[in-house]
Amino acid sequence: MFVFATQHGELTGYYHSFDFGPAFNGVSFGRHRTSDGREEFVAQRHSTLGAANAGPQVGPVVVSQIMYQPPASAGTNNTTDEFIALRNVSAQPVSLFDPAHPTNTWRLRGAVELDLPPHVSLTAGETLVCVSFNPELDLGALARFRTRYNLPPTWRVLGPWRGHLDNAGDEVRLLQPDTPQAPPATDPGYVPYVLVERVAYRGGHPWPREARGSGLALTRHDLFAFANDPAHWVAASPNPDLPDADRDGLPDPWERSHGLRPDTADGDHGPAGDPDGDGASNLQEYLSGTRPRLGRPPAPERRRFRAGPRGPDLHGSTRYRLHPPQPRHALGRHLGLPRRLHPSDRPNPSDLPRTAAPNRPPLSVASSLAWPTRDLIRLDPDLRSAP
């Protein structure tokens, strides 16, 4: 913004200033306000002179995912597993080069620099992954990369790029070549590169913090919305082909298979949930390949039993039989009897068997007791008088 004032400091006027690069013939630029209050001057879907702006042009190829901070490797910044995913969101194939000049190809600029090879095209809905290593020469790195992110075999991987994605924030620009300038232009042969998309992400608010080192990627949840707006990005699974209805980074099929609701990211059903109480969140369980409902047994439960026909004050006249645990019973239950007798009459719980064998003789219990068992044990009263 430029501000004008008199020599005495009196404001006389101001105006905005925007920078923008080349544009295709017939494309106009217009002001666009993002969800975090920024103003950008971007290419519009079509010209609307004298009317409201049509809105930013999006596609046909978009930046769909950015993995800028993979989990650390051996305590160091892991740049090998960084990637940028491009997707064709149109219903037609898109050539990532100028058909009339095949050596003029699409490119990435900003944090990283990568010129795509000639004759690369994306079919409708296809995704291309750009990486820091050379997938044609380093087959081991490619195999590890595909395994780590469970990439579908249909996804092509291209690299290497120069540079790396900054964990604190950086800029990714996708550029498309226009027709080279021809005489009598002042710069014949010059190839203008048109900005297709720009994403200036940050490692914190208002961008999703969960994408920092968690194993989740910065994922564009609306591929047809303006790219450089944090409201259009979430932290999600590095494989966006897996459906994720609630956008919590946990694929719907995985949530269903483990008894979690795929339509909510709250409580035990969300990425921070821990339904088995083992200290590992659902997101950590998903990324490590473990099960979110195995770990802590169910909450302890106390059950009370009457000590016979004359009530809980009965002393030494009721016999209880410990039955062996039944299959599929829950773990970690507490069993209890009424606590109404003198402490000297109470047996030491450590003297009682943790699990009763089928041929073990009945136990006479003349007091109240409550002890944790590793298996569910059923106590049934035997109302015959003790011998």
Instruction: Quote the CA–CA distance of 214 and 280 in Å, as a whole number.
Output: 13
SS3 state at 313: coil
Residue 287 confidence class, pLDDT cut points 50, 70, 90: low
Nearest by Cα to 15 from 6, 5, 4: 4
- Is the domain spanning 58-241 CATH 1.10.3470? The answer is no
Residue 311's φ and ψ, nearest 5 degrees, are 95, -175
Q: Is the pLDDT of residue 301 over 80?
A: no
What DSSP string runs through 255-280? HHHTT--TT--SGGGSTT--TT-SS-
Q: Name the residue with higher pLDDT: 317 or 33.
A: 33
Amino acid identity at 180 = P
SS3 state at 285: helix
Domain segments of the chain as ranges? 16-54, 58-241, 249-296, 319-382
- Strands 127-131 and 156-158, bridge-based pairing: parallel
SS3 state at 122: strand
Q: Is the pLDDT of residue 314 over 90?
A: no
| Least confident piece of the model among 9-18, 121-130, 183-192, 352-361 | 352-361
Residue 381 confidence class, pLDDT cut points 50, 70, 90: very low
Average pLDDT rounded to a whole number, residues 347-376: 40
Read off the pLDDT of residues 82-101 as tens digits, 9 standing for 90 and up. Answer: 999 999 999 999 999 999 99
Matching residue, tokens 């992400």: 201
**Is the separation of the CB atoms in 220 and 172 below 8 Å?**
no
Instruction: Quote the CA–CA distance of 56 and 72 in Å, as a whole number.
Output: 36
Q: Is the pLDDT of residue 361 over 80?
A: no
C-alpha 365: how far from its chain's center?
Answer: 54
Percent of the chain with pLDDT over 90: 39
Burial grade of 143 (CB within 10 A; 0-12, 13-18, 19 or more): exposed
